[in-house]
């Protein structure tokens, strides 16, 4: 009996196999593909390589232990399993939480179609968990303008239609309306937000935009400018109805941005760079922190992500239990061997087995997941069994989503999208503190620098640096001790 249907699934696959030439892996907001080897086969995306290339930091056990100490909460299974695997300055957010200082969560979605799949909901599920954990405001940006600018065919009316339906999908994840503001760029650009957009755009040259985004002379100028809109949402002073009118205070409140890793190179690297150079009355803009998730692979394998426009590549939130079953049985790339006999002798490869990989995202029970891995790799468990478990978990997830989604009406969308104050408490174990700026670079005042830091601020920064150095030293000693003990 053949346990592995990859040959048939690939013949049938709607994903064009145009990528047969050898090529390097590409990950940016507009392309995601693993390396193509000499044999023309797409490899899994190498996330370690991305961490090196982008210059982000891996989330390690020490950071997770600190997270648990500070929040009193066990890290989410995405964190425990390396699905949310990389970050920029996440430790600064933990510092702030510990001290009761404000920050907010920011994420977004480009409404490009009504076809929302389970790959889209992953960062939002994680964001909801962060909101529940930290009890802070969350801002969700709907980039209808981006989807108009980056599509050849879509009209403004079309993307606006997707926007309200996508907002319903997002609300159905379970966000708290008292703490969440969703906005559409077409509706919200203006006032304080627009001032920040222009501040940001003034500090990016065409050369820099080209280097970051790969634009060329034929790129429409709307696309070139768009990054400043996505970036300016990282600044709390864009939202006076939430954080207050006093920019000298709000300028120091940083965002924590949960997103898929493809969003990193663009606006946030760019925005972090400009934040360090820009000052408001001598006070630097807080750089956003980021926390990155990897992609939920397409059914066809771990070298690419699900696509909203290719039905057979993804499990959609509108899929029926039967469609879910058929898609997984027919298309899910298998890490099993070609025959049951061989599989029983050599075992399967969970690192490429799509059914197992999906279970890492959707099955919360660590012990059960480990058991499946051991059984599959030993050869005792066959591809069909792994798929059956995956089907059950996904059917459960999608059914629960559909039930919540049915309850979201136009009124709810209006509520979430109305400009209004939000209510949040932050860390219940820390006193609430007035905002302070800590991740701006004092030595890096750019042309807009409207004055130097005060003596007090410099002192504070110096102290901060000393604390960081001490912490680093302690961590190093601890690691050394642990490794000598282990030896
Ligand atoms: N550009 C993103 C997309 O196309 C949407 C987006 C805007 C976003 N701001 C964000 C995603 C912040 C993650 C984090 O889907």
What's 42's DSSP letter? B
The average pLDDT across 322-349 equals 95
The average pLDDT across 449-453 equals 34
**How confident is the model over 367-413, as pLDDT tens digits?**
999 999 999 999 999 999 999 999 999 999 999 999 999 999 999 99
Res. 304: pLDDT tops 90: no
Half-sphere exposure of 324 (CA within 13 A, CB side): 24
The average pLDDT across 278-287 equals 94
Burial of 206 (0-12, 13-18, 19+ CB in 10 A): exposed
b/e code 11-26 from CB counts within 10 Å (16+ = b):
eebebeeebeeeeebe
Nearest to 284 by CA among 467, 106, 99, 443: 443
Rounded CA-CA distance 333/329 in Å is 9
Q: Tokens 């996904």 identify what position? A: 394
Ligand 1 atom closest to residue 233's alpha carbon, by position in its atom list = 9
The least confident of 67-76, 247-256, 267-276, 319-328 is 267-276
Identify the pLDDT of residue 10. 44
Whether 303 is in the pocket of ligand 1, judged by its Cβ within 6 Å, is no
Ligand 1 atom closest to residue 147's alpha carbon, by position in its atom list = 4
The long-range contacts involving 410-413, CB below 8 angstroms and separated by at least 24 positions, are 410/164, 412/168, 412/171, 412/177, 413/164, 413/167, 413/168, 413/171, 413/182
Name the residue at shortest CA distance from atom 12 of ligand 1. 107
Res. 4: pLDDT tops 60: no
Res. 92: pLDDT tops 90: yes
Nearest to 199 by CA among 476, 461, 447, 458: 447
- Determine the 3-state secondary structure of 29 from DSSP: coil
* Angle value at C-alpha 124, between 118 and 129, nearest 5 degrees: 120
- Ligand 1 site-directed mutation target among 141, 228, 306, most atoms within 8 Å of CB: 141
**Residue 6 vs residue 306, higher pLDDT:** 306
Residue 202: both structure tokens together: 């003034």
**Residue 304 vs residue 65, higher pLDDT:** 65
CB atoms within 10 A of CB 310: 18
Confidence grade of residue 471 (pLDDT, cut at 50, 70, 90): low
The average pLDDT across 251-272 equals 87
- Ligand 1 site-directed mutation target among 230, 266, 269, most atoms within 8 Å of CB: 230
Handedness of CA 425, 187, 448, 241 (dihedral sign): negative
> For the chain, how are helix, strand and coil distributed in percent, rounded to 5?
50, 10, 35
Res. 358: pLDDT tops 70: yes
Name the residue at shortest CA distance from atom 1 of ligand 1. 110
Q: Average pLDDT over the chain, rounded to whole?
A: 87
Confidence grade of residue 50 (pLDDT, cut at 50, 70, 90): confident
Nearest to 399 by CA among 362, 344, 441, 450: 362
Res. 2: pLDDT tops 70: no
Whether 143 is in the pocket of ligand 1, judged by its Cβ within 6 Å, is yes
């Amino acid at each position: 009996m053949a346990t592995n249907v990859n040959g048939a699934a690939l013949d049938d696959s709607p994903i064009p196999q145009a990528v047969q030439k050898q090529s390097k892996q590409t990950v940016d907001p507009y392309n995601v593909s693993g390396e193509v080897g000499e044999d023309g086969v797409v490899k899994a995306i190498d996330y370690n390589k991305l961490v090196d290339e982008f210059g982000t930091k891996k989330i390690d056990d020490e950071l997770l232990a600190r997270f648990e100490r500070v929040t009193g909460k066990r890290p989410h299974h995405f964190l425990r399993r390396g699905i949310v695997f990389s970050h920029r300055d996440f430790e600064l957010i933990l510092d702030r939480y510990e001290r009761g200082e404000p920050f907010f969560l920011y994420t977004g979605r480009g409404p490009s179609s009504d076809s929302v799949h389970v790959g889209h909901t992953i960062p939002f599920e994680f964001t909801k968990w962060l909101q529940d954990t930290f009890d802070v405001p969350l801002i969700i940006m709907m980039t209808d303008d981006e989807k108009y600018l980056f599509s050849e065919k879509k009209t403004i009316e079309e993307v606006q239609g997707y926007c309200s339906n996508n907002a319903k999908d997002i609300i159905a994840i379970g966000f708290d309306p008292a703490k969440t503001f969703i906005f559409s760029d077409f509706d919200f650009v203006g006032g304080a937000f627009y001032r920040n957009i222009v501040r940001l755009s003034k500090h990016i040259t065409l050369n820099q935009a080209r280097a970051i985004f790969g634009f060329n002379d034929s790129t429409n100028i709307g696309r070139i400018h768009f990054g400043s809109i996505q970036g300016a949402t990282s600044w709390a002073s864009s939202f006076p109805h939430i954080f207050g009118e006093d920019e000298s205070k709000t300028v120091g409140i940083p965002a924590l941005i949960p997103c898929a890793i493809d969003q990193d190179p663009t606006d946030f690297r760019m925005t972090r760079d400009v934040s360090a150079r820009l000052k408001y009355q001598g006070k630097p803009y807080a750089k956003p922190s980021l926390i990155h998730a990897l992609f939920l692979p397409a059914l066809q394998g771990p070298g690419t992500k699900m696509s909203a426009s290719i039905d057979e590549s993804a499990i959609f939130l509108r899929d029926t239990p039967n469609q879910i079953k058929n898609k997984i049985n027919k298309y899910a790339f298998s890490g099993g061997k070609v025959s049951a006999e061989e599989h029983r002798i050599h075992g399967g490869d969970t690192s490429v087995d799509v059914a197992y990989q999906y279970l890492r995202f959707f099955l919360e029970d660590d012990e059960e997941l480990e058991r499946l891995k051991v059984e599959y790799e030993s050869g005792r468990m066959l591809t069909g069994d792994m798929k059956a478990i995956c089907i059950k978990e996904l059917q459960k997830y999608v059914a629960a989503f559909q039930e919540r989604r049915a309850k979201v009406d136009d009124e709810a969308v209006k509520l979430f999208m109305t400009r209004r104050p939000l209510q949040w408490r932050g860390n219940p174990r820390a006193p609430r503190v007035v905002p302070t700026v800590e991740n701006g670079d004092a030595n890096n005042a750019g042309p807009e620098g409207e004055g130097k830091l005060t003596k007090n601020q410099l002192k504070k920064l110096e102290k901060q640096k000393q604390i960081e150095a001490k912490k680093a030293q302690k961590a190093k000693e601890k690691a050394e001790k642990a490794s000598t003990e282990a030896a």
